Chain A
Amino acid sequence: MDFVSFLIQVLNSLQYGLLLFLVASGLTLVFGIMGIINLAHGSFYMVGAYLAFALTSLTGNLMLAIALGLPLAFVFGAILEWALFSHLYKRDHLEQVLLTYGLILIFEELRSLAVGDDVHGVTIPELFSASIPLSDNLSYPLYRLVISVVCLALAGGLYWLIQKTRLGMMIRAGSHDRDMVKALGIDINLLYRTVFALGVALAALAGMLAAPISSVYPGMGSSVLIISFVIVVIGGVGSVWGALVAALVIGFADTFGKVLLPDLAGLMVYLVMAVVLLWRPEGIFKKA
């Protein structure tokens, strides 16, 4: 592999890893703070992608679609938490797995009823449709770079939100001791609803950003879901920082696995997970 194609693969790995981080960060927050295993999290990614498709056909511009779709996803998450997930906090993991498994089926079929089972494309906004030439015959699409930059900015924003703001303080406290937070007069239900809706919005955003690259297709949620779980577990449940590191590890493992060992590409991610967990059974950044 010469340097330019190596560089392209590195950029692809970063872009894929960072996109996965958006999905995994919400999952790990909901996991770590509310103790909920949410199998339906991949569906939010799928919902985001289909929102991007529907709103882009409506408005004619992906960026406008994202601006409209993001608040919609947030509200959707808040309603879902209120209607269903708020009843799950005291149940055991098994029942959570089951209920959210049922939700996957519901979301997939509602999608099928609403939009059908065809594969759809979403056009890249004209502003970012160019490619950056890297050598005589190789170039890198600008849109992929934009995705990486947006995801990095969001990762920074999330860090700031959790470490430096009052809301972040409550989130961190809530993950340690729910009852104490309540006793301090903080509305824990509202806090949970906000965190859950934030997670839904992040996953939906990942789906919206990915829509032009991956196209929009049935079942796109489940592949992302399983990979995101792998990331959450490798990174350590509840650790956003761990999720970022793990997402990049997985991004590189998957991309380079596909290039170097095409026969075993699907296996790579899970091999990495098995090795990491043998080394640290509770993830790289285990929470105290």
Chain B
Amino acid sequence: MNSRTSTIFKLAVMAGVLAFPAFGSDFYAEMVAKVLILAIFAMSLDLLVGFTGLVSFGHAAYFGIAAYAVALMTPKYDPANLWLALPASILAAAAAAFVIGLFVLRTKGIYFIMVTLAFAQMAYYVFHDTPLGGGSDGIYLNFKPDATIAGWVPFDLNEPHHLYYFVVAAMLAVYGLLKLVLRSPFGRVLVGIRSNEHRMLSLGYATFRYKLAAFTLAGGLAGFAGFLYAVLFGFVTPEYLSWHKSGDVLLMVILGGMGNLAGAIAGAAALVGLQEIFTGMTKHWQLLMGLTIVAAVLFMPGGMAATPARIMARINGGKTNE
């Protein structure tokens, strides 16, 4: 796909998403909102996996920590203030990522994959085994955060359409932010670290600090997604931090094609869509999911983002330009 068709395609998808509540049912609007939230989650992981070359297998921890943060900040019979709860939840996730990053970024390769997993498991058991967040049952978020600023109500998250457009705006904001970050000198250093960390070091970059900054930013953005997810569905369970969730988001990034923000969004849509189709077909939908994943790895190297180019190349009989 050349860049113009790709831009047109993105704009068309965006228009569809914006117009969706006008013709789609509430059920499907909620599903699109879920996709958009998971797209934020996947993009935040892509910053690490695709751009910095850090394969984190514990990214759900930050998603879940922020979700618990908003649930715990919400009083039992009142809504929390959105303008306090949102930054506080993101900060909680970013702070956790910063502290964990100090430890895990000392390791590399397979060890990094496993150590991020281990820390995520620790966070999982904190919420699973202690009464802090309702233990293994989780905790309900009885009221969605209140957006009132000094008596003025710009929007109301209890209105499904308001919540929907809030999520759309959040997704666009994160996409824009990450685009800017990746275009900045900071983002260039991250990409440099992915291709050759030793060279970056010898050029005088303190790569550890750059990686830590990326890890913290990714954690904070995953927290943003976790916050929205908790608000959308109104409850939080330890499963939000489980390694299955970390696996799912990794799957979205890889399905979409690493190092490609639009790909991460497509990956989130593909995974939620496939789950929806398969659960409609059979009780044993995970079997179909598993077979799809295995087939995708065997026959679709490079993810969905690379597939149009591969198909075009096959048609033209030429070589792929990967």
Residues of A bordering B, CB below 8 Å: 31, 37, 39, 84, 87, 91, 93-95, 97-99, 101-106, 108-110, 112-113, 222, 226, 229-230, 232-233, 237, 263-267, 270-271, 273-274, 277-278, 281-283
Of A37, A91, A230, which contacts B118 at CB under 8 A?
A: A230
> Given A274-B103, A277-B103, list of 11 further CB < 8 A pairs?
A87-B298, A95-B254, A97-B247, A99-B293, A102-B290, A102-B297, A110-B287, A113-B284, A237-B110, A263-B130, A265-B129
Chain B: which residue is nearest A39 at the CB level?
B247
A residues within 8 A CB of B122? 267, 270-271, 274
Q: 9 tightest A-B contacts by CB?
A: A102-B293, A105-B290, A266-B125, A109-B287, A106-B290, A99-B297, A270-B122, A102-B294, A105-B286
In chain B, residues 177-225, which have Cβ atoms closer than 8 Å to a Cβ of chain A? none
Docked pose: A96 CA to B304 CA in angstroms: 17
B126 near A277 with CB under 8 A, answer no
| A39 CA / B114 CA spacing, docked (Å) | 11
The answer to whether residues A263 and B118 also contact, given A105-B287, A106-B287, A109-B287 and a CB cut-off of 8 A, is no
Q: Does the CB pair A99–B294 fall under 8 Å?
A: yes
Are B297 and A104 neighbours in the complex by a CB distance under 8 Å?
Answer: no
Q: Chain B nearest CB: distance from A275 CB in Å? A: 10
Q: Which of B108, B121, B296 contacts A270 (CB 8 A)?
A: B121
Contact across chains for B294 and A94 when beta carbons are under 8 A apart: no
17 inter-chain pairs at a CB distance below 8 angstroms, sorted by A residue, are: A93-B109, A95-B301, A99-B294, A101-B251, A101-B293, A109-B284, A113-B287, A226-B121, A233-B114, A233-B118, A237-B110, A265-B129, A266-B125, A266-B128, A270-B119, A278-B103, A278-B106
* B119 neighbours in A (Cβ, 8 Å): 270, 274
Determine the distance from Cα of A232 to Cα of B297 in the docked complex, in whole angstroms.
Answer: 25
In the complex, what's the smallest C-beta–C-beta distance from B294 to chain A, in angstroms? 4
Q: Is the CB of B250 within 8 A of A109?
A: no
Closest chain B residue, CB of each to CB of A95? B297
Cβ of B306 < 8 Å from any Cβ of A? no
Q: Does B291 contact A (CB under 8 A)?
A: yes
Least CB distance, B316 to chain A, in whole angstroms = 26
What's the Cα separation between A233 and B55 when bound, in Å?
16
B111 beta carbon closer than 8 Å to chain A: yes
Report if B292 contacts A (CB, 8 A): yes
Known contacts A95-B254, A99-B293, A108-B286; decide if A264 and B129 are in contact (CB<8 Å). Answer: yes
User: Given the complex, which residues of A lie within 8 Å of B286, measured CB to CB?
Assistant: 105-106, 108-109
- B60-112: which have CB < 8 Å to A? 103, 106-111
Q: Does B266 contact A (CB under 8 A)?
A: no
B57 at the A interface (CB under 8 A): yes
- Secondary structure of the B contact surface, majority rule: helix
For A236, give the chain B residue with the smallest CB separation. Answer: B111
> A238's closest neighbor in chain B, by CB?
B110
> Given A267-B125, A271-B122, A274-B103, is A99 in contact with B298 using a C-beta cutoff of 8 Å?
yes
Whether B289 and A105, one on each chain, are in contact in the complex, defined by CB atoms closer than 8 angstroms, is yes
Which residues of A lie under 8 Å from residue B35 when comparing CB positions?
A: none
A229 touches B114 (CB 8 A): yes
B48 CB, min distance to chain A CBs, angstroms: 12
Task: Give the distance to chain A from B74, nearest Cβ to Cβ, in Å.
Answer: 25
Asked if B115 and A277 sit within 8 Å, CB to CB, the answer is yes
Contact: A31 with B287, CB < 8 Å? Answer: no
Contacts of B115 in A (CB 8 A): 233, 273-274, 277
Of all chain B residues, which has the CB nearest A265? B129
Q: Are A273 and B113 in contact (CB under 8 A)?
A: no
Q: B107: which of A37, A230, A266, A277 is its contact (CB, 8 Å)?
A: A277
Whole-angstrom CA separation of A99 from B293 in the bound complex: 6
Most buried by B among A97, A101, A112: A101
Q: Does the CB pair B129–A101 fall under 8 Å?
A: no
The complex places the Cα of A265 from the Cα of B251 at a distance, in Å, of 30
* Docked complex Cα distance between A110 and B107 (Å): 36
Shortest distance from the beta carbon of B303 to any chain A beta carbon, whole Å: 10
Q: Is B230 an interface residue (CB 8 A)?
A: no
Please give, as numbers and ranges, the residues of chain B lying within 8 Å of A278 by CB-CB distance.
Answer: 103, 106
For the complex formed, measure the closest distance between the CB of B40 and the CB atoms of chain A, giving whole angstroms. 21
Cβ–Cβ contact A106 & B294, under 8 A: yes
Select which of A31, A226, A263 is within 8 A of B243 by beta carbon.
A226
A93 lies within 8 A of B287 (CB): no
Among A110, A229, A283, chain B packs the most CB atoms within 10 A around the CB of A229
A95 to B257, CA, bound (A): 11
Which residues does chain A contribute within 8 Å of B298, judged by CB atoms?
Answer: 84, 87, 99
| Residues of chain B lying within 8 A (CB to CB) of residue A39 | 247
Interface string of B118-151 (1 = CB under 8 A from A): 1101101110111000000000000000000000
Determine the residue in chain A with the shortest Cβ distance to B100.
Answer: A274
Interface residues in B236-251 (C-beta closer than 8 Å to A): 243, 247, 250-251
In the assembled complex, B43 has its CB within 8 A of some CB on chain A: no
- Residue with the highest number of chain A CB atoms closer than 10 Å, among B57, B250, B290: B290
B290 near A103: Cβ-Cβ < 8 Å: yes
Residues of chain A lying within 8 A (CB to CB) of residue B114: 229-230, 232-233
B304 to chain A, nearest CB (A): 13
Q: A95-B301, A97-B57, A270-B119 are in contact. Are A37 and B110 (CB under 8 A)?
A: yes
Question: Taking the complex as formed, is B49 at the interface, i.e. its CB lies under 8 A from any CB of chain A?
Answer: yes
Assess A101 versus B247: contact at CB under 8 Å? Given A95-B254, A106-B287, A270-B125.
Answer: yes
